[in-house]
Amino acid sequence: MKVGGNLKMRKIQIEVMSDVDPRCEMCYHKGQKWIMDDQGLPGGICIGAMSALLPWITCIKYDAELYWEKHGEVNVCCTDADYPVKFKISVIEEN
């Protein structure tokens, strides 16, 4: 992993990428999105998912290059072993 020189907080989009088992307590749906910026965490994401997402959000918001992922994106699965949800985290490029 290589960390870039951009230390400005960039906006991050979190998107549900998988079909979600109806027994998931959060009732996510495929395509559901949240925006995260320097104002704090988005509401509506459970603690299990957020605990899996935050390390990767930190990486890409500061321009880390993850050789196994497309630059500015990372796919993450929540920690619920019974009803896992796949999320895509991506940087929102602003001009």
Instruction: Name the band, by pLDDT with cuts 50, 70 and 90, for residue 4.
Output: low
Higher pLDDT, 87 or 10: 87
Cβ atoms of 72 and 44 closer than 8 Å: no
Length of the chain: 95
Q: Check residue 74 and give its pLDDT.
A: 93
Is the pLDDT assigned to residue 69 strictly greater than 80? yes
Interval 31-65: pLDDT, tens: 999 998 877 777 889 888 999 999 998 888 888 88
Mean pLDDT computed over 58-87: 87
Q: Check residue 10 and give its pLDDT.
A: 78
Rounded to two decimals, the pTM is 0.83
Is the pLDDT assigned to residue 66 strictly greater than 60? yes
Report residue 49 as tokens: 């998912």
**Could you tell me the CA-to-CA distances from 92 to 11, 23, 34, 47, 55 in Å, in that order?**
5, 31, 12, 23, 18
